[in-house]
A and B are shown apart, each in its own frame.
Chain A
Amino acid sequence: MSTLRNERVRLPFFLDYYRRLGVNHFIFVDNDSDDGSRAFLTDQPDVSVWATNASYKRARFGVDWLNWLARKHAHGHWVLTVDPDEFFVYPFSDTRNLRALTDWLDASSIKSFGAMLLDMYPKGTLDAQPYREGQDPFEIASWFDSGNYMISKNPRFGNLWIQGGPRARAFFPDNPARAPALNKIPLVKWHRAYTYVSSTHNLLPRGLNLVYDEWGGEKASGVLLHAKFLSTFADKAEEELERRQHYAASHEYRAYAEKLKDNPDLWCKWSEKYINWRQLEILGLMSKGNWA
Chain B
Amino acid sequence: MSVGFVMLVHTALDRAEQVARHWARHDCPVVIHVDRKVKRRDHAAFVEALSDLDNVRFSQRFSCEWGTWSLVEASQAASELLLKEFAEVRHVFLASGSCLPLRPVQELKDYLAERPMTNFIESVTTVDVPWTVGGLDEERFTLRFPFSWKRQRHLFDAYVHLQRRLNINRKIPDGLVPHLGSQWWCLTRQTLTAILEDPDRASYDRYFSKVWIPDESYYQTLVRLYSTNIESRSLTLSKFDFQGKPHIFYDDHMQLLRRSDCFVARKIWPHADKLYDGFLSEDATIVTGAEPNPGKIDRIFSKAVERRTKGRPGLYMQSRFPNEGWENGPTSAPYAVFEGFAELFEDFDDWLTRMVGARVHGHLFGPDRVEFAGGQKVFAGALSDSAELRDYNPHAFLTSLIWNTRGERQCFQYGPRDTQDISWFLAKDPNAAISVISGAWAVPLFYSNANFSDIRKQAARLQKIEAEHLDALKSFYAKARVRIWTLADFVENPMEPLQTIIDELGNRTSHRLTEAPRMVSLDGFGQFLQNLKNQGMHPHLMGDFPVSNLVAHDRKKPRKPYLVN
A binds B: yes
Q: Across the interface, which residues of B come within 8 angstroms of A291, CB to CB?
A: 304
Contacts from B to A (Cβ < 8 Å):
241-243, 245, 247-248, 250-252, 269, 271, 300-301, 303-305, 307-312, 315-323, 326-328, 377-384, 386, 388-389, 392-393, 396-397, 400, 403-404
Asked if B328 and A288 make an inter-chain contact with CB atoms under 8 angstroms apart, the answer reads no
Asked if B319 and A287 make an inter-chain contact with CB atoms under 8 angstroms apart, the answer reads yes
Asked if A213 and B311 make an inter-chain contact with CB atoms under 8 angstroms apart, the answer reads yes
Q: Across the interface, which residues of A come within 8 angstroms of B242, CB to CB?
A: 290
Q: What separation, in Å, do the CA atoms of A268 and B382 have in the docked complex?
A: 7
Q: Across the interface, which residues of A come within 8 angstroms of B251, CB to CB?
A: 95-96
Q: Across the interface, which residues of B come within 8 angstroms of A214, CB to CB?
A: 321-323, 326
Q: Across the interface, which residues of A come within 8 angstroms of B323, CB to CB?
A: 214-215
Q: Across the interface, which residues of A come within 8 angstroms of B309, CB to CB?
A: 216-217
Q: What separation, in Å, do the CA atoms of A175 and B362 have in the docked complex?
A: 24
B106 to chain A, nearest CB (A): 31
Nearest B residue to A214, CB-CB: B323
Contact bitstring A51-89, B, C-beta under 8 A = 1, else 0: 000000000000000000000000000000000000000
Q: Across the interface, which residues of B come within 8 angstroms of A207, CB to CB?
A: none
Q: Across the interface, which residues of A come within 8 angstroms of B381, CB to CB?
A: 145-148, 270
Task: Identify the 8 closest CB pairs spanning chains A and B, nearest first.
Answer: A147-B381, A290-B308, A221-B319, A292-B304, A176-B392, A145-B382, A147-B404, A173-B386
Stretch at the interface among A132-140, A161-169, A233-241, A247-255: A161-169
B394 to chain A, nearest CB (A): 10
Q: Across the interface, which residues of B come within 8 angstroms of A164, CB to CB?
A: 396
Q: What separation, in Å, do the CA atoms of A183 and B316 have in the docked complex?
A: 13
Known: A147-B400, A183-B318, A214-B322. A270 touches B382 (CB 8 A): yes
Task: Tell me if A99 counts as interface (CB < 8 A to partner B).
Answer: yes
Q: What separation, in Å, do the CA atoms of A286 and B312 have in the docked complex?
A: 12
Asked if B317 and A287 make an inter-chain contact with CB atoms under 8 angstroms apart, the answer reads yes
- Interchain residue pairs with CB less than 8 A apart (11): A99-B271, A103-B271, A107-B245, A147-B403, A148-B400, A218-B307, A218-B308, A270-B378, A287-B319, A287-B320, A292-B303
Most buried by B among A150, A174, A272: A150
Asked if B321 and A148 make an inter-chain contact with CB atoms under 8 angstroms apart, the answer reads no
Known: A173-B389, A270-B380. A96 touches B247 (CB 8 A): no
A268 to chain B, nearest CB (A): 5
Asked if A153 and B403 make an inter-chain contact with CB atoms under 8 angstroms apart, the answer reads no
Asked if A284 and B319 make an inter-chain contact with CB atoms under 8 angstroms apart, the answer reads no
Q: Across the interface, which residues of A come within 8 angstroms of B403, CB to CB?
A: 147, 284
Asked if A271 and B382 make an inter-chain contact with CB atoms under 8 angstroms apart, the answer reads yes
Task: Tell me if A264 counts as interface (CB < 8 A to partner B).
Answer: no
Most buried by A among B311, B388, B389: B389
Q: Which of B245, B307, B320, B380 contacts A147 (CB 8 A)?
A: B380
Nearest A residue to B400, CB-CB: A147
Asked if B305 and A147 make an inter-chain contact with CB atoms under 8 angstroms apart, the answer reads no
B548 to chain A, nearest CB (A): 50
B40 to chain A, nearest CB (A): 23
Q: Which of A114, A169, A269, A292 contacts B319 (CB 8 A)?
A: A114
Task: Tell me if A289 counts as interface (CB < 8 A to partner B).
Answer: yes
Q: Which of A99, A114, A172 contacts B318 (CB 8 A)?
A: A114
**Interface size range of chain A in the complex:** 35 or more
A220 to chain B, nearest CB (A): 7
Q: Which of B304, B315, B388 contacts A284 (CB 8 A)?
A: B315
Q: Which of B245, B271, B389 contacts A108 (CB 8 A)?
A: B245
Task: Tell me if A285 counts as interface (CB < 8 A to partner B).
Answer: yes
Given contacts A174-B386, A290-B241, 10 further A-B contacts (CB under 8 A): A108-B243, A166-B382, A176-B393, A214-B323, A215-B322, A219-B308, A272-B382, A289-B307, A290-B307, A292-B301
Most buried by B among A107, A146, A148: A148
Asked if B382 and A213 make an inter-chain contact with CB atoms under 8 angstroms apart, the answer reads no
Task: Tell me if A149 counts as interface (CB < 8 A to partner B).
Answer: yes
Asked if A149 and B396 make an inter-chain contact with CB atoms under 8 angstroms apart, the answer reads yes
Asked if B316 and A151 make an inter-chain contact with CB atoms under 8 angstroms apart, the answer reads yes
Q: Across the interface, which residues of B come within 8 angstroms of A152, CB to CB?
A: 393
Most buried by A among B309, B321, B323, B379: B321
Asked if B304 and A221 make an inter-chain contact with CB atoms under 8 angstroms apart, the answer reads no
Nearest B residue to A170, CB-CB: B384
A21 to chain B, nearest CB (A): 14
Known: A95-B252, A290-B304. A213 touches B400 (CB 8 A): no
B256 to chain A, nearest CB (A): 10
Task: Tell me if A39 counts as interface (CB < 8 A to partner B).
Answer: no
Task: Tell me if A194 counts as interface (CB < 8 A to partner B).
Answer: no
Q: What separation, in Å, do the CA atoms of A221 and B318 have in the docked complex?
A: 8
Q: Across the interface, which residues of B come within 8 angstroms of A286, CB to CB?
A: 317-319
Asked if A153 and B315 make an inter-chain contact with CB atoms under 8 angstroms apart, the answer reads no
Q: Across the interface, which residues of A come within 8 angstroms of B328, CB to CB?
A: 216
Known: A174-B388, A213-B322, A290-B241. A148 touches B382 (CB 8 A): yes
Asked if A116 and B382 make an inter-chain contact with CB atoms under 8 angstroms apart, the answer reads no
A138 to chain B, nearest CB (A): 18
